[in-house]
Structure 1
Amino acid sequence: MSKPRYAVYYAPAADSALWRFGSAVLGYDASTGEDVPFLVPPGCDPATWPELTQEPRRYGFHATLKAPFELAEGRSEDELLSFARNHAAGLEGVALAGLSVTALGSFVALTPSAPGADLQRFAFALVRAFEPFRAPLAEADRARRLASPLTPAQHAYLDAYGYPYVGDAFRFHMTLTGSLPDGRIAPVRQALAAASAAALPAGPVRLDRFALFRQDDRKSRFRLLDSYPVD
Protein backbone atom coordinates (compact mmCIF):
# COMPACT_ATOMS: atom_id res chain seq x y z
CA MET A 1 0.00 0.00 0.00
CA SER A 2 1.32 3.45 -0.87
CA LYS A 3 2.11 5.94 1.85
CA PRO A 4 0.11 9.12 2.47
CA ARG A 5 1.16 12.20 0.56
CA TYR A 6 0.95 15.80 1.70
CA ALA A 7 0.92 19.05 -0.23
CA VAL A 8 1.20 22.75 0.57
CA TYR A 9 -1.51 24.54 -1.37
CA TYR A 10 -3.21 27.86 -1.51
CA ALA A 11 -6.87 27.14 -0.81
CA PRO A 12 -9.31 30.00 -0.16
CA ALA A 13 -11.26 30.13 3.08
CA ALA A 14 -13.97 27.47 3.05
CA ASP A 15 -16.72 30.08 3.48
CA SER A 16 -15.49 32.27 0.59
CA ALA A 17 -17.16 32.73 -2.77
CA LEU A 18 -13.94 31.63 -4.48
CA TRP A 19 -13.84 28.32 -2.61
CA ARG A 20 -17.51 27.65 -3.29
CA PHE A 21 -17.06 28.43 -6.98
CA GLY A 22 -13.99 26.24 -7.50
CA SER A 23 -15.39 23.36 -5.48
CA ALA A 24 -18.68 23.46 -7.39
CA VAL A 25 -16.91 23.51 -10.77
CA LEU A 26 -15.00 20.39 -9.70
CA GLY A 27 -17.95 18.79 -7.90
CA TYR A 28 -15.90 18.15 -4.75
CA ASP A 29 -15.33 20.07 -1.51
CA ALA A 30 -11.92 19.09 -0.13
CA SER A 31 -12.70 20.70 3.24
CA THR A 32 -15.51 18.21 3.90
CA GLY A 33 -14.39 15.38 1.63
CA GLU A 34 -17.85 15.30 0.08
CA ASP A 35 -19.14 15.59 -3.46
CA VAL A 36 -21.13 18.75 -4.13
CA PRO A 37 -23.54 19.59 -6.96
CA PHE A 38 -21.69 20.59 -10.11
CA LEU A 39 -21.68 24.15 -11.32
CA VAL A 40 -21.85 23.41 -15.04
CA PRO A 41 -20.90 26.54 -17.02
CA PRO A 42 -23.43 27.91 -19.48
CA GLY A 43 -23.44 26.08 -22.78
CA CYS A 44 -21.61 23.01 -21.42
CA ASP A 45 -23.16 19.56 -21.28
CA PRO A 46 -24.00 18.40 -17.71
CA ALA A 47 -23.58 14.79 -18.86
CA THR A 48 -19.92 15.26 -19.84
CA TRP A 49 -18.84 17.85 -17.26
CA PRO A 50 -17.89 15.27 -14.58
CA GLU A 51 -15.48 13.66 -17.04
CA LEU A 52 -13.91 17.00 -18.00
CA THR A 53 -13.15 17.75 -14.34
CA GLN A 54 -12.23 14.24 -13.20
CA GLU A 55 -8.47 14.79 -12.89
CA PRO A 56 -8.48 18.06 -10.88
CA ARG A 57 -11.29 16.69 -8.69
CA ARG A 58 -8.75 14.23 -7.21
CA TYR A 59 -6.74 17.14 -5.83
CA GLY A 60 -9.51 19.51 -4.73
CA PHE A 61 -9.66 23.20 -5.63
CA HIS A 62 -6.26 24.76 -5.00
CA ALA A 63 -3.11 26.35 -6.33
CA THR A 64 0.02 24.27 -5.81
CA LEU A 65 2.72 25.89 -3.69
CA LYS A 66 4.68 22.74 -2.75
CA ALA A 67 3.72 19.72 -4.82
CA PRO A 68 2.60 16.43 -3.20
CA PHE A 69 5.29 14.58 -1.26
CA GLU A 70 5.66 11.65 1.10
CA LEU A 71 7.07 12.40 4.55
CA ALA A 72 10.79 12.06 5.07
CA GLU A 73 12.06 9.26 7.27
CA GLY A 74 11.61 10.16 10.94
CA ARG A 75 9.05 12.89 10.28
CA SER A 76 5.42 12.69 11.46
CA GLU A 77 2.17 14.31 10.45
CA ASP A 78 1.94 15.97 13.86
CA GLU A 79 5.37 17.55 13.33
CA LEU A 80 4.30 18.76 9.89
CA LEU A 81 1.14 20.36 11.26
CA SER A 82 3.01 21.99 14.12
CA PHE A 83 5.66 23.39 11.80
CA ALA A 84 3.02 24.79 9.45
CA ARG A 85 1.21 26.52 12.31
CA ASN A 86 4.40 28.08 13.65
CA HIS A 87 5.73 29.03 10.21
CA ALA A 88 2.54 30.85 9.26
CA ALA A 89 3.03 33.29 12.13
CA GLY A 90 6.01 34.86 10.37
CA LEU A 91 4.54 35.18 6.87
CA GLU A 92 2.84 38.03 5.05
CA GLY A 93 0.05 37.47 2.56
CA VAL A 94 0.13 38.51 -1.08
CA ALA A 95 -2.27 40.80 -2.92
CA LEU A 96 -3.24 39.86 -6.47
CA ALA A 97 -4.78 42.34 -8.87
CA GLY A 98 -7.43 39.75 -9.65
CA LEU A 99 -7.96 36.31 -11.14
CA SER A 100 -8.72 35.52 -14.77
CA VAL A 101 -9.94 32.35 -16.45
CA THR A 102 -7.10 31.26 -18.74
CA ALA A 103 -6.27 28.36 -21.03
CA LEU A 104 -2.93 26.86 -20.02
CA GLY A 105 -2.10 24.44 -22.78
CA SER A 106 -4.96 21.95 -22.87
CA PHE A 107 -6.59 22.79 -19.52
CA VAL A 108 -8.37 25.80 -18.06
CA ALA A 109 -7.48 27.51 -14.78
CA LEU A 110 -7.79 30.69 -12.77
CA THR A 111 -4.54 32.66 -13.00
CA PRO A 112 -3.43 36.07 -11.71
CA SER A 113 -4.59 38.97 -13.85
CA ALA A 114 -1.11 40.49 -13.55
CA PRO A 115 2.28 38.97 -12.62
CA GLY A 116 3.83 39.75 -9.27
CA ALA A 117 7.26 39.18 -7.75
CA ASP A 118 5.73 38.99 -4.26
CA LEU A 119 3.75 35.92 -5.29
CA GLN A 120 6.84 34.19 -6.65
CA ARG A 121 8.75 34.89 -3.43
CA PHE A 122 5.83 33.72 -1.25
CA ALA A 123 5.57 30.42 -3.12
CA PHE A 124 9.30 29.67 -3.25
CA ALA A 125 9.73 30.49 0.43
CA LEU A 126 7.16 27.82 1.28
CA VAL A 127 8.78 25.31 -1.07
CA ARG A 128 12.08 25.71 0.74
CA ALA A 129 10.62 25.91 4.25
CA PHE A 130 8.86 22.54 3.97
CA GLU A 131 11.70 20.80 2.15
CA PRO A 132 13.01 19.03 5.32
CA PHE A 133 9.68 17.16 5.48
CA ARG A 134 9.86 15.78 1.92
CA ALA A 135 11.04 12.24 1.27
CA PRO A 136 13.25 11.76 -1.80
CA LEU A 137 11.25 11.43 -4.99
CA ALA A 138 10.45 7.83 -5.93
CA GLU A 139 11.97 6.67 -9.20
CA ALA A 140 8.54 6.18 -10.79
CA ASP A 141 7.56 9.75 -9.90
CA ARG A 142 10.86 11.09 -11.17
CA ALA A 143 10.46 9.23 -14.45
CA ARG A 144 6.96 10.64 -14.84
CA ARG A 145 8.27 14.18 -14.42
CA LEU A 146 11.14 13.58 -16.84
CA ALA A 147 8.68 12.39 -19.47
CA SER A 148 7.74 16.06 -20.01
CA PRO A 149 10.26 18.37 -21.71
CA LEU A 150 12.17 20.27 -19.03
CA THR A 151 14.62 23.14 -19.29
CA PRO A 152 17.99 22.77 -17.53
CA ALA A 153 16.71 25.01 -14.73
CA GLN A 154 13.56 22.93 -14.31
CA HIS A 155 15.64 19.76 -14.24
CA ALA A 156 17.74 21.29 -11.45
CA TYR A 157 14.58 22.23 -9.52
CA LEU A 158 13.33 18.66 -9.87
CA ASP A 159 16.58 17.36 -8.38
CA ALA A 160 16.55 19.91 -5.56
CA TYR A 161 12.88 20.05 -4.63
CA GLY A 162 11.15 17.06 -6.24
CA TYR A 163 9.16 19.30 -8.60
CA PRO A 164 10.33 21.20 -11.67
CA TYR A 165 7.92 24.15 -11.58
CA VAL A 166 9.19 26.19 -8.64
CA GLY A 167 11.25 29.36 -8.29
CA ASP A 168 11.26 31.30 -11.56
CA ALA A 169 9.46 28.34 -13.23
CA PHE A 170 6.47 28.67 -10.91
CA ARG A 171 3.15 29.77 -12.35
CA PHE A 172 0.25 30.23 -9.95
CA HIS A 173 -2.91 28.56 -11.23
CA MET A 174 -6.10 27.10 -9.80
CA THR A 175 -7.08 24.27 -12.12
CA LEU A 176 -10.71 24.03 -13.26
CA THR A 177 -10.59 21.26 -15.88
CA GLY A 178 -8.56 18.33 -16.99
CA SER A 179 -6.94 18.09 -20.40
CA LEU A 180 -9.42 19.09 -23.10
CA PRO A 181 -9.54 18.27 -26.83
CA ASP A 182 -8.33 21.15 -28.98
CA GLY A 183 -11.82 22.05 -30.15
CA ARG A 184 -13.16 22.28 -26.61
CA ILE A 185 -10.54 24.50 -25.01
CA ALA A 186 -11.78 27.90 -26.19
CA PRO A 187 -15.51 27.23 -25.66
CA VAL A 188 -14.96 25.82 -22.17
CA ARG A 189 -12.69 28.73 -21.23
CA GLN A 190 -15.32 31.21 -22.38
CA ALA A 191 -18.06 29.37 -20.50
CA LEU A 192 -16.01 29.27 -17.29
CA ALA A 193 -15.16 32.95 -17.67
CA ALA A 194 -18.87 33.75 -17.82
CA ALA A 195 -19.58 31.52 -14.81
CA SER A 196 -16.79 33.07 -12.75
CA ALA A 197 -17.94 36.61 -13.60
CA ALA A 198 -21.40 35.72 -12.30
CA ALA A 199 -20.16 33.97 -9.15
CA LEU A 200 -17.10 35.94 -8.02
CA PRO A 201 -16.63 39.57 -7.03
CA ALA A 202 -14.42 41.54 -9.36
CA GLY A 203 -11.20 43.13 -8.17
CA PRO A 204 -8.19 42.23 -6.04
CA VAL A 205 -7.77 38.88 -4.34
CA ARG A 206 -5.60 38.45 -1.25
CA LEU A 207 -3.70 35.25 -0.61
CA ASP A 208 -4.19 35.35 3.12
CA ARG A 209 -3.41 31.72 3.99
CA PHE A 210 -1.84 28.48 2.93
CA ALA A 211 -3.13 24.99 3.57
CA LEU A 212 -1.94 21.44 4.08
CA PHE A 213 -3.72 18.73 2.13
CA ARG A 214 -3.40 14.96 2.64
CA GLN A 215 -3.93 12.04 0.27
CA ASP A 216 -4.28 8.73 2.12
CA ASP A 217 -3.00 6.72 -0.85
CA ARG A 218 -2.51 7.21 -4.57
CA LYS A 219 -6.11 6.18 -5.34
CA SER A 220 -7.66 8.59 -2.85
CA ARG A 221 -8.69 12.19 -3.23
CA PHE A 222 -6.81 14.89 -1.39
CA ARG A 223 -8.48 16.33 1.73
CA LEU A 224 -7.78 19.64 3.41
CA LEU A 225 -6.04 18.91 6.71
CA ASP A 226 -5.72 22.45 8.04
CA SER A 227 -5.53 26.05 6.85
CA TYR A 228 -3.09 28.64 8.18
CA PRO A 229 -3.95 32.35 7.98
CA VAL A 230 -1.06 34.75 7.41
CA ASP A 231 -0.90 38.51 8.03
Structure 2
Amino acid sequence: MGGGMFTRIAIYHVPAGDLGAFGARWLGWDIAQGHVSAQTGELYPAQAEVTARPRRYGLHATIKPPFRLAGRASFAALSQAMEKLCAQLEPVTLSGLEIARMGRFLALLPKGGVDGLNALAARVVVDLDEFRAPLSAAELDRRRKGRLSPSKASNLLRWGYPHVMQDFRFHITLTGPLDDETAGRVYTSLRSHLSELVSGPYPVDSLSLVGEDDQGHFHEIERYPLASVP
Protein backbone atom coordinates (compact mmCIF):
# COMPACT_ATOMS: atom_id res chain seq x y z
CA MET A 1 0.00 0.00 0.00
CA GLY A 2 1.48 3.34 -1.01
CA GLY A 3 1.32 6.66 0.76
CA GLY A 4 -0.49 8.69 -1.88
CA MET A 5 -3.96 7.88 -0.57
CA PHE A 6 -3.26 9.27 2.91
CA THR A 7 -3.66 12.83 4.19
CA ARG A 8 -1.10 12.50 6.98
CA ILE A 9 1.69 10.11 7.88
CA ALA A 10 2.95 9.08 11.33
CA ILE A 11 5.41 6.69 12.95
CA TYR A 12 3.79 4.39 15.49
CA HIS A 13 4.67 1.35 17.46
CA VAL A 14 1.78 -1.02 16.68
CA PRO A 15 1.41 -3.96 19.09
CA ALA A 16 1.24 -7.34 17.39
CA GLY A 17 0.05 -10.78 18.49
CA ASP A 18 -2.60 -11.21 21.17
CA LEU A 19 -2.30 -7.62 22.41
CA GLY A 20 -2.80 -6.26 18.90
CA ALA A 21 -5.82 -8.51 18.39
CA PHE A 22 -7.32 -7.39 21.69
CA GLY A 23 -6.76 -3.76 20.74
CA ALA A 24 -8.70 -4.18 17.51
CA ARG A 25 -11.62 -5.78 19.39
CA TRP A 26 -11.54 -3.18 22.14
CA LEU A 27 -11.23 -0.01 20.04
CA GLY A 28 -13.33 -1.20 17.11
CA TRP A 29 -10.65 -0.45 14.51
CA ASP A 30 -7.95 -2.84 13.30
CA ILE A 31 -5.06 -0.60 12.31
CA ALA A 32 -2.99 -3.52 10.97
CA GLN A 33 -5.73 -4.79 8.65
CA GLY A 34 -7.38 -1.43 8.00
CA HIS A 35 -10.97 -2.29 8.79
CA VAL A 36 -13.69 -1.94 11.41
CA SER A 37 -13.70 -4.58 14.14
CA ALA A 38 -17.02 -5.46 15.76
CA GLN A 39 -17.57 -4.18 19.30
CA THR A 40 -20.02 -6.59 20.91
CA GLY A 41 -20.00 -5.04 24.38
CA GLU A 42 -18.74 -8.23 26.00
CA LEU A 43 -15.53 -6.45 27.05
CA TYR A 44 -17.49 -3.57 28.63
CA PRO A 45 -21.17 -2.63 28.21
CA ALA A 46 -20.49 0.93 26.98
CA GLN A 47 -17.39 -0.13 25.06
CA ALA A 48 -18.20 1.86 21.91
CA GLU A 49 -18.82 5.02 23.90
CA VAL A 50 -15.64 4.98 26.00
CA THR A 51 -13.43 4.16 22.99
CA ALA A 52 -14.96 6.62 20.51
CA ARG A 53 -12.11 9.14 20.65
CA PRO A 54 -9.11 6.80 20.14
CA ARG A 55 -10.93 4.44 17.75
CA ARG A 56 -9.75 5.96 14.48
CA TYR A 57 -6.11 5.73 15.52
CA GLY A 58 -6.14 2.02 16.36
CA LEU A 59 -4.06 0.47 19.13
CA HIS A 60 -0.67 2.15 19.03
CA ALA A 61 1.99 4.19 20.76
CA THR A 62 2.92 7.39 18.94
CA ILE A 63 6.63 7.76 18.19
CA LYS A 64 6.57 10.58 15.60
CA PRO A 65 3.16 12.29 15.60
CA PRO A 66 1.04 12.67 12.44
CA PHE A 67 2.39 15.09 9.84
CA ARG A 68 1.85 16.08 6.23
CA LEU A 69 4.65 15.29 3.82
CA ALA A 70 6.82 18.28 2.92
CA GLY A 71 6.29 19.62 -0.57
CA ARG A 72 9.42 18.12 -2.09
CA ALA A 73 9.35 14.92 -0.05
CA SER A 74 8.10 11.64 -1.48
CA PHE A 75 6.54 8.74 0.34
CA ALA A 76 9.02 6.38 -1.32
CA ALA A 77 11.95 8.38 0.07
CA LEU A 78 10.39 8.43 3.52
CA SER A 79 9.89 4.67 3.42
CA GLN A 80 13.51 4.13 2.45
CA ALA A 81 14.72 6.46 5.20
CA MET A 82 12.50 4.69 7.72
CA GLU A 83 13.86 1.28 6.75
CA LYS A 84 17.45 2.51 7.01
CA LEU A 85 16.84 4.17 10.37
CA CYS A 86 15.11 1.14 11.89
CA ALA A 87 18.04 -1.05 10.85
CA GLN A 88 20.22 1.17 13.08
CA LEU A 89 17.92 1.31 16.12
CA GLU A 90 18.23 -1.33 18.82
CA PRO A 91 15.04 -2.92 20.19
CA VAL A 92 13.98 -1.91 23.68
CA THR A 93 12.45 -4.38 26.12
CA LEU A 94 10.24 -2.87 28.80
CA SER A 95 9.74 -4.56 32.16
CA GLY A 96 6.07 -4.70 31.30
CA LEU A 97 2.98 -2.61 30.67
CA GLU A 98 0.32 -1.56 33.14
CA ILE A 99 -3.13 -0.03 32.85
CA ALA A 100 -3.10 3.42 34.43
CA ARG A 101 -4.72 6.84 34.37
CA MET A 102 -3.04 9.37 32.10
CA GLY A 103 -4.89 12.58 32.76
CA ARG A 104 -8.54 11.76 32.06
CA PHE A 105 -7.68 8.76 29.89
CA LEU A 106 -6.80 5.14 30.55
CA ALA A 107 -3.69 3.86 28.80
CA LEU A 108 -1.04 1.19 28.91
CA LEU A 109 2.08 2.73 30.42
CA PRO A 110 5.56 1.19 30.67
CA LYS A 111 6.92 -0.31 33.86
CA GLY A 112 10.52 0.28 34.82
CA GLY A 113 13.12 2.44 33.14
CA VAL A 114 12.36 4.17 29.84
CA ASP A 115 15.63 5.95 28.98
CA GLY A 116 16.32 3.68 26.01
CA LEU A 117 12.78 4.04 24.74
CA ASN A 118 12.87 7.83 25.06
CA ALA A 119 16.16 7.97 23.18
CA LEU A 120 14.71 5.81 20.40
CA ALA A 121 11.68 8.09 20.04
CA ALA A 122 13.84 11.22 19.98
CA ARG A 123 16.05 9.74 17.25
CA VAL A 124 13.00 9.03 15.07
CA VAL A 125 11.60 12.54 15.57
CA VAL A 126 14.90 14.17 14.61
CA ASP A 127 16.08 11.91 11.79
CA LEU A 128 12.81 11.92 9.85
CA ASP A 129 11.90 15.56 10.36
CA GLU A 130 13.04 16.59 6.89
CA PHE A 131 9.94 14.83 5.56
CA ARG A 132 7.50 16.85 7.71
CA ALA A 133 5.70 19.86 6.31
CA PRO A 134 5.59 22.85 8.70
CA LEU A 135 2.38 23.42 10.62
CA SER A 136 0.04 26.08 9.30
CA ALA A 137 -0.76 29.17 11.38
CA ALA A 138 -4.19 27.71 12.15
CA GLU A 139 -2.65 24.43 13.34
CA LEU A 140 -0.21 26.29 15.58
CA ASP A 141 -3.01 28.39 17.08
CA ARG A 142 -5.10 25.29 17.77
CA ARG A 143 -2.23 23.55 19.55
CA ARG A 144 -1.43 26.64 21.61
CA LYS A 145 -4.92 26.70 23.10
CA GLY A 146 -3.80 23.88 25.37
CA ARG A 147 -1.77 26.27 27.61
CA LEU A 148 1.57 24.69 26.84
CA SER A 149 4.59 24.76 29.12
CA PRO A 150 7.65 26.58 27.75
CA SER A 151 9.32 23.31 26.69
CA LYS A 152 6.17 22.05 24.98
CA ALA A 153 5.70 25.36 23.21
CA SER A 154 9.29 25.12 21.99
CA ASN A 155 8.72 21.54 20.80
CA LEU A 156 5.63 22.65 18.90
CA LEU A 157 7.58 25.26 16.97
CA ARG A 158 10.63 23.08 16.31
CA TRP A 159 9.14 19.62 15.85
CA GLY A 160 5.46 20.25 15.07
CA TYR A 161 4.10 18.66 18.26
CA PRO A 162 4.35 19.48 21.99
CA HIS A 163 4.75 15.99 23.44
CA VAL A 164 8.12 14.97 22.02
CA MET A 165 11.75 14.97 23.14
CA GLN A 166 11.95 15.77 26.90
CA ASP A 167 8.12 15.85 27.03
CA PHE A 168 7.63 12.44 25.39
CA ARG A 169 5.79 9.79 27.38
CA PHE A 170 5.30 6.38 25.82
CA HIS A 171 1.69 5.27 26.13
CA ILE A 172 -0.88 3.10 24.37
CA THR A 173 -4.25 4.85 24.64
CA LEU A 174 -7.23 2.69 25.59
CA THR A 175 -10.07 5.18 26.13
CA GLY A 176 -11.28 8.69 25.59
CA PRO A 177 -11.66 11.12 28.52
CA LEU A 178 -13.57 9.57 31.43
CA ASP A 179 -14.95 10.80 34.72
CA ASP A 180 -13.55 9.15 37.83
CA GLU A 181 -16.46 6.76 38.36
CA THR A 182 -16.49 5.53 34.77
CA ALA A 183 -12.70 5.25 34.73
CA GLY A 184 -12.86 2.96 37.75
CA ARG A 185 -15.38 0.65 36.12
CA VAL A 186 -13.50 0.53 32.82
CA TYR A 187 -10.20 -0.07 34.62
CA THR A 188 -11.66 -3.09 36.42
CA SER A 189 -13.00 -4.52 33.17
CA LEU A 190 -9.78 -3.94 31.25
CA ARG A 191 -7.66 -5.43 34.00
CA SER A 192 -9.64 -8.67 33.86
CA HIS A 193 -9.03 -8.97 30.11
CA LEU A 194 -5.54 -7.50 29.78
CA SER A 195 -3.57 -8.56 32.85
CA GLU A 196 -2.17 -11.76 31.34
CA LEU A 197 -1.36 -10.06 28.02
CA VAL A 198 0.86 -7.38 29.58
CA SER A 199 2.22 -9.10 32.69
CA GLY A 200 5.65 -10.02 31.31
CA PRO A 201 8.45 -8.10 29.56
CA TYR A 202 7.22 -6.14 26.55
CA PRO A 203 9.47 -5.80 23.48
CA VAL A 204 9.40 -2.66 21.36
CA ASP A 205 11.05 -4.39 18.42
CA SER A 206 9.37 -2.78 15.43
CA LEU A 207 8.07 0.57 14.24
CA SER A 208 5.33 1.15 11.70
CA LEU A 209 4.73 3.72 9.01
CA VAL A 210 1.04 4.56 9.21
CA GLY A 211 -1.29 6.78 7.22
CA GLU A 212 -4.54 8.64 7.88
CA ASP A 213 -7.25 8.14 5.27
CA ASP A 214 -9.81 10.77 4.27
CA GLN A 215 -12.22 9.41 6.88
CA GLY A 216 -9.68 9.99 9.65
CA HIS A 217 -8.78 6.33 10.23
CA PHE A 218 -5.16 5.25 10.49
CA HIS A 219 -3.76 2.26 8.59
CA GLU A 220 -0.49 0.42 9.06
CA ILE A 221 1.30 0.78 5.72
CA GLU A 222 4.49 -1.06 6.54
CA ARG A 223 6.14 -2.49 9.65
CA TYR A 224 9.91 -2.30 10.05
CA PRO A 225 11.85 -4.55 12.45
CA LEU A 226 14.47 -2.83 14.55
CA ALA A 227 18.13 -3.86 14.40
CA SER A 228 18.95 -7.45 15.37
CA VAL A 229 15.33 -8.56 14.98
CA PRO A 230 15.06 -11.47 12.49
Q: What TM-score do you get using the length of structure 2 for normalisation?
A: 0.91
4+ aligned runs moved over 6 Å, structure 1: none
Look up the match of 1:211.
Answer: 208
CA RMSD, 1 decimal: 1.7
Counterpart CA distance in 2 for 1:214 and 1:7 is: 6
Size of the aligned set, in residue pairs, is 223
Look up the match of 1:106.
Answer: 104
Contact kept, 8 Å, 2:122 with 2:164, in 1: the verdict is yes
Structure 2 residue 63 is matched with structure 1 residue 65: yes
Contact kept, 8 Å, 1:27 with 1:39, in 2: the verdict is no
Alpha-carbon distance change, 28 to 6 in structure 1, aligned in 2, over 3 angstroms: same
Question: Aligned to 1:54, what secondary structure does the other structure show?
Answer: coil
User: Which of 129, 132, 150 is 2:130 aligned to?
Assistant: 132
Look up the match of 1:230.
Answer: 226
Unaligned runs of 5+ in 2: none
Structure 2 residue 11 is matched with structure 1 residue 8: yes
Look up the match of 2:91.
Answer: 93
Unaligned runs of 5+ in 1: none
Structure 1 residues 166-177: aligned runs within 5 Å:
166-177=164-175
Counterpart CA distance in 1 for 2:18 and 2:6 is: 33
Q: One-letter code of the match for 1:215?
A: E
Question: Aligned to 1:58, what secondary structure does the other structure show?
Answer: helix
Contact kept, 8 Å, 1:41 with 1:195, in 2: the verdict is no
Task: Name which of structure 1's ranges 169-178 and 21-30 shifts more when overlaid on structure 2.
Answer: 21-30
Look up the match of 1:28.
Answer: 29
Task: Report how far residue 3 of structure 1 moved.
Answer: 6.9
Q: One-letter code of the match for 1:110?
A: L
Task: Report how far residue 183 of structure 1 moved.
Answer: 2.2
Counterpart CA distance in 2 for 1:137 and 1:39 is: 39
Sequence identity percentage: 36
Look up the match of 2:142.
Answer: 144
Counterpart CA distance in 2 for 1:160 and 1:52 is: 33
Q: 1:158-197 CA deviation, whole Å, 9 max, x = no partner? A: 1110001111111100001111133211221222122101
Structure 2 residue 51 is matched with structure 1 residue 50: no
